[in-house]
Amino acid sequence: MRKQLCKRGSIANALMMTVLTFGLLMVAAGASIFQFNMSNQDGTQDGARRLAEAAVQTTIARLIKKPDVDATTLPSLQMQLESYPGGQALLAFDSAQANSWQIPLSVNNLQRAGNLPATTSLPGWGSTVVQPETANLVGVGRYRGQECRVEAVLYLPKCPYVVASSVPILAQGGLQVFGINDPSALANGFQNIPASAIEPGHIVTNADDNLTEALRIYGPGTRIEGDAQSHGRLDVSGATVIGEQRPHAELVPMPQIDIPGLNTTNKTGNSVLTTNNNAPLGPTTLTGYNSHEGDLEINGGLTLTGGVLWVNGSLKVQGGLNGKGAVIANGTIQLDGGGAMTGDGAALVAQGPIQLNGTVGQRTEFRGLIYTEGNLSCRYANISGAVVVNNPDPAGAAYMEQVSMAESQQLASINVPIVVRVPGSPGVPGMQGFPPTLHANLPTGGDPYGYGVGAVTQYLGGTGAPTLFTANMNGPREDYTVPPAGYPVTHQPTPAEPWYEIGVPNPFPSDPVTLGSIRINNPDPNGSLSSIDNDGYGWQSAYEQYTDRASARSALIRIAQAWGSGNAQAATDAFLDAADQKTISEAPQFVQIWNYNSKLLGQSNINNPGQPPTPGSILFTNFSMDLSQFFKVSDRIRVLSWREI
Amino acid sequence: MEGNLIVVASAARSPKGSMLLEQVVSIGLVAILLLVVAFTIVRTQRSSQAGKVRFEANMLAQNTLEAEQAQGISARNLGHLPLLQGRFSNDLIYQVDRELFTVLGQPATTGLTDQEIKGIRVTVTWRDLSGAQKAQAEGIAVKVAR
């Protein structure tokens, strides 16, 4: 019995030890496998994350190259990385593709197509809202069954400074620097901007210290709502700086405008301004492209109504600058006296110094952007927009006295519609001809109204040709840049449809001749010829033209009598009555042809944007300038957030 | 002959009843058990050490990759950068290989150039008791102002 018990105990011992050993072995194996799995899973997750990041980073590279890519130009993106075989990096701007891949939608709202600034928010993935000038990118990496999603929010800010200067800045009292989000805050003037509308605005210089601090903004009344930044030292004694004071800061990128490239001289429809022996011009209003060779002085103010003025020299304006447009000079620009550049902003660009000289009682108001490659001097001025002093001369300076500056990204982005009327005769193939004009008489056409005068021989050099006075009733001049007088305008030109259309007058004017003109040729019965036509008839260079019945009647009777007509009055009245009737009866046909030709000319410019505009047509262009465009996108783009979701 | 056998059997049996064979087996099993425990401890320690080194290597690869991504890439040539060398916390020597390579040719990179986008591969290599080891991280680098 005891022997049996001992035997059983030994077997149990042996079994227990075996189980223990096996268990320990299993634990050891399990630990190893667990570690291996953890390590493997870690590697897989890392791979998925790097693939997701690769998708986002590649998209950023595409956006830097072309900030307005969208679902059309880049519907989706799919790539692989060699270190993660079988893995995929995915990103989709196209919602259908995003749904198909089952990944969140990416949205680019940095810019609209055509590099236009984005202005409205767009819906993103889930409940996210993609603000203007931002992009929401979601890259998805899939690797060995693991998925990782990386979201990046990008921001493409405009020029962020109120004043950016490459030379030292000196402000001696009264300098106010701030920002405004909405230009409507300026509606009641600088002195009445609501406190709630005032935002931080920054002043910055890249200048090194010369003899004094690179940034000196001191004196009573000086207040900077944002940062005061200098590559050298700064002196803000007595001033209030709400933001940070940043001495010895890193250089900020400065925009570089190609000023000679803004020369309007070769622009279609450019008007050349001339002066009398360089005497100053009086009050001047400019529309479209204008240029002036040499220095120009204007007394009484310069008003721009969608006008751009290029001065190949220096410009001095007394009486202020008003309206909307751009003034560019490769010399100095000096504006004396008050003025109000209003609306959406203007541009003041000079290769030389810029001076804005207001007075205590009449401060100069300027909205838009100021760019100079010389020195800047502002006194008693209110400036909203952005100011850039990009003077390569380190000895230069930007001087301000009693100046208020409001940074506004909207106002610093200039877009001036320019309407250019191209002179000349229309000549587009396919244009329709008007009905034949009505002649009072012709050497070949008989004498329907009874003037009773025949042709005489007149001479061109030694060659004689039969010649007779004539009169004909014409429709309005074929100038499609201006709607003809007396006809109602039924379609105003727009950038999309740059042509006029007119309607039939209703009622007709009491003097239908005013709807056209009467031209009297060969007025001199004893004259000499300037040409002989293919039919052998002679033509004098002189003629008379009238746009009302009374004047035409008087002249035609006088000329007919001079040619020897004994029935000049009756014949002239009969001719004019017929002319009235023809003008009225043919008005619908005339209007139809005029509109057809006008539209054809307008479309010829739209459909052939690369071709020279057709003479006689209206050309719509835009003068646009945005300081941001002179920064590289890669210098502007900012990564606001980068996270795994 | 039979009597001799009886003597031997009586001598192998403990007076308390346990057999010598049982004791030998038990001692053997205990020895095996101790060996397994020792092996497990050594193995676990080694795995822990290796895991720590691998973690350091992965971190090193990741950090190196991010450092390279943060640098401007446009002026850098494709190919291998000079090897970096250092020691892990357990004194093992490692080498870091950084390779810039083109990712062009993938549809995603349409319209881009090598100045605008490059691939970066970081490989950390070291040698431990198990032999040659490596940790790798690969990503894309573009020029982004931060």
Range scoring the smallest mean pLDDT among A33-42, A173-182, A509-518: A33-42
What's the farthest any 2 CA atoms get from each other in chain A? 171
Confidence of residue A188 (pLDDT cuts 50, 70, 90): confident
In the DSSP assignment, the letter for residue B68 is H
- DSSP E strand stretches across A344-469: 346-350, 354-357, 364-372, 376-389, 398-407, 413-421, 438-439, 456-460, 463-467
Q: Which pLDDT value is given to residue A631?
A: 62
CA distance A209 to A207: 7
What residues are paired with A425 via a beta bridge?
none
More confident position, A213 or A430: A213
**CB contacts, 8 Å: A57 with chain B:** 69, 117, 139-142
In 10 A of CB A244, how many CB atoms?
Answer: 12
CA distance A621 to A9: 106
In this prediction, the residues of chain B whose per-residue pLDDT falls under 50 are 1-12, 146
**CB contacts, 8 Å: A58 with chain B:** 103, 108-109, 112, 117, 140, 142
CA distance A402 to B75: 46
Q: Which pLDDT value is given to residue A436?
A: 78
Confidence of residue A424 (pLDDT cuts 50, 70, 90): very low
Tell me if the pTM is above 0.80.
no
Rounded to a whole number of angstroms, the distance between the first and last alpha carbons of chain B is 99
CA distance A76 to A259: 40
Q: What does the DSSP assignment read for A88-118?
A: EEEEESSHHHHHHHT-PPPEEESEETTTEEP
Listed residue (A549, A551, A526, A533) closest to A442, CA to CA: A533
* Mean pLDDT computed over A352-369: 87
Q: Which pLDDT value is given to residue B6?
A: 45
* Mean pLDDT computed over A250-272: 82
More confident position, A1 or A481: A481
Q: How far is A5 from chain B (nearest CA, A)?
A: 10
Helix-helix angle A549-562:A568-585, to 10 degrees: 140
CA distance A287 to A305: 5
CA distance A156 to A232: 28
Confidence of residue A180 (pLDDT cuts 50, 70, 90): confident
* Cβ–Cβ below 8 Å for B107 and A78: yes
* Cβ–Cβ below 8 Å for A66 and B142: no
Q: Which pLDDT value is given to residue A295?
A: 93
In this predicted model, what pLDDT tens digit does every residue of A463-519 receive, in sequence order?
888 899 988 888 877 777 778 888 999 988 777 777 788 999 988 999 999 998 899
Helix-helix angle A568-585:A587-607, to 10 degrees: 60
In 10 A of CB A334, how many CB atoms?
Answer: 20
In this model, does residue A1 exceed pLDDT 70?
no
Distance of CA B50 to the CA centre of its chain: 5
Listed residue (A398, A323, A424) closest to A367, CA to CA: A323
The number of C-alpha atoms within 13 Å of A117 and in the hemisphere containing its C-beta is: 19
**CB contacts, 8 Å: B32 with chain A:** 17, 21
Q: Which pLDDT value is given to residue B1?
A: 42
Confidence of residue A610 (pLDDT cuts 50, 70, 90): very low
Q: Which pLDDT value is given to residue A576?
A: 93
Q: Which pLDDT value is given to residue B3?
A: 44
* Cβ–Cβ below 8 Å for B109 and A58: yes
CA distance A520 to A440: 9
Token output for A581: 């009737």
Q: Which pLDDT value is given to residue A338?
A: 66
Listed residue (A174, A203, A178) closest to A193, CA to CA: A178
- DSSP E strand stretches across A185-301: 198-199, 203-205, 215-218, 223-224, 228-230, 234-235, 240-241, 245-246, 271-272, 284-293, 296-299
In this model, does residue A216 exceed pLDDT 50?
yes
CA distance A231 to A294: 37
**CB contacts, 8 Å: B17 with chain A:** 2-3, 6
Contact indicator for A381, A425 with CB cutoff of 8 Å: no
Instruction: Please provide the average confidence, as pLDDT, over all residues in chain A.
Output: 83
**What type of residue sits at position A128?**
T
Neighbouring residues of A371: CB distance < 8 A, sequence distance ≥ 6: A255, A257, A347, A348, A349, A350, A387, A388, A390, A627
Name the residue facing B37 among A14, A24, A80 (closest C-beta): A24
Confidence of residue A163 (pLDDT cuts 50, 70, 90): confident
Place of tokens 């009969």: A574
Place of tokens 């990009």: A390
Q: Which pLDDT value is given to residue B106?
A: 83
Q: Which pLDDT value is given to residue A86?
A: 92
A53 part of contact set with chain B, CB < 8 Å: yes
More confident position, A606 or A597: A597
Q: Which pLDDT value is given to residue A429?
A: 57
Q: Which residues from B are below 8 Å from A when comparing CB atoms?
A: 17-19, 22, 25-26, 29-30, 32-33, 36-37, 39-40, 43-44, 47, 51, 54, 58, 62, 65, 69, 103, 106-109, 111-112, 116-117, 119, 121, 136-146
A182 part of contact set with chain B, CB < 8 Å: no
What residues are paired with A198 via a beta bridge?
A180
In this predicted model, what pLDDT tens digit does every residue of A539-575 receive, in sequence order?
898 889 898 999 999 999 999 999 999 999 999 999 9
Q: What does the DSSP assignment read for A408-422?
A: -TTTTEEEEEEEEEP
Cα–Cα distances (Å) from A500 to A72, A216, A424, A481, A497, in that order, read: 35, 56, 17, 8, 9
In this model, does residue A251 exceed pLDDT 60?
yes
In this model, does residue A586 exceed pLDDT 90?
no
In this predicted model, what pLDDT tens digit does every residue of A82-123 receive, in sequence order?
889 999 999 999 999 999 999 999 999 887 665 566 668 889
**CB contacts, 8 Å: A18 with chain B:** 29
Token output for A280: 């100053």
Prediction ipTM score? 0.76
Helix-helix angle A2-65:B20-70, to 10 degrees: 10
In this predicted model, what pLDDT tens digit does every residue of A613-645 receive, in sequence order?
454 555 666 777 777 666 666 667 778 888 998
Contact indicator for A370, A393 with CB cutoff of 8 Å: no
Place of tokens 């308390």: B16
Listed residue (A385, A406, A370) closest to A200, CA to CA: A406
3-state secondary structure (DSSP) of residue A8: helix
A35 part of contact set with chain B, CB < 8 Å: yes
**CB contacts, 8 Å: A20 with chain B:** 33
Pairing of strands A284-293, A302-312: parallel
Q: How far is B1 from chain A (nearest CA, A)?
A: 25
Question: Searching chain A, which residue's CA lies closest to the CA of residue B41?
Answer: A28
Q: Which pLDDT value is given to residue A256?
A: 81
Cα–Cα distances (Å) from A480 to A235, A321, A548, B105, in that order, read: 62, 32, 21, 53
User: Percent of chain A at pLDDT above 70?
Assistant: 85
In this predicted model, what pLDDT tens digit does every residue of B5-42 receive, in sequence order?
444 444 445 555 567 777 888 888 888 888 878 887 88
Q: Which pLDDT value is given to residue A35?
A: 67
Q: Which pLDDT value is given to residue A6?
A: 59
Q: A–B: how many Cβ contacts below 8 A?
A: 128
* Mean pLDDT computed over A13-30: 73
Backbone Cα Rg of chain A: 39
CA distance B50 to B30: 29
Distance of CA A286 to the CA centre of its chain: 18
In this model, does residue A139 exceed pLDDT 90?
yes
Counting Cβ atoms within 10 Å, is residue B1 exposed (0-12), middle (13-18) or buried (19+)? exposed
Phi-psi region for residue A53, left (φ > 0), alpha (ψ -120 to 50) or beta? alpha
CA distance B34 to A144: 40
* Cβ–Cβ below 8 Å for B39 and A639: no
Cα–Cα distances (Å) from A469 to A524, A571, A606, in that order, read: 8, 13, 43
CA distance A556 to A568: 8
In this model, does residue A14 exceed pLDDT 90?
no
CA distance A421 to A330: 26
Which stretch, A8-17, A202-211, A287-296, has highest mean pLDDT? A287-296
